[in-house]
Amino acid sequence: MKKFLLLFVFSIMSFCAFSQLIVRTYKNQAGTYDDIFKKWRFDEMNYSEISVVVERGYFQFDDKAQSLYRVIEKQGENVEGAYKSTTWKCKDERNLDCTVQIIHYFENKSNVLAVIYDKICYVYHIREVEQNK
């Protein structure tokens, strides 16, 4: 009976783990990849309040375009020194392949959500994350 009760509790906990998150951003910027210097070149920072609804199968932005990124597969988590990143392979509303990545810095840097295409990148600096059940 105790095993059954423990299984039930773990099932409820894992169901709650997949509830909806709302990521609120306060600034963003776009970048292009420079093939000559092999690095990203970013535009000026734009200050704008954009909310991103994160569910198990998609990322929905409340920007002017109402951008939607459907998750194809989770590519995993990576911890490198000062930050941890989680990456998903996605398709946008035009059915283009892209990567969505959330980067959490361990120090006092701004956490970011990035949408990366082949040579174009959009970076959103995260102000707060709220869990909506």
- pLDDT tens digit sequence for 20-68: 889 999 999 999 999 999 999 999 999 999 999 999 899 999 988 899 9
Q: Is the dihedral of CA 45, 127, 94, 91 positive or negative?
A: positive
pTM above threshold 0.75: yes
What DSSP assignment string belongs to 47-75? EEEEEEEE-SSEEEE-STT--EEEEEEEE
- Rounded Cα distance between 35 and 51, Å, is 32
Alpha carbon distance 112, 110 (integer Å): 6
Please write the tens of the pLDDT for every residue from 70-119: 999 999 999 988 899 999 999 999 999 999 999 998 887 789 999 999 99
Residue with tokens 């398709």: 91
Q: What is the pLDDT of residue 133?
A: 65
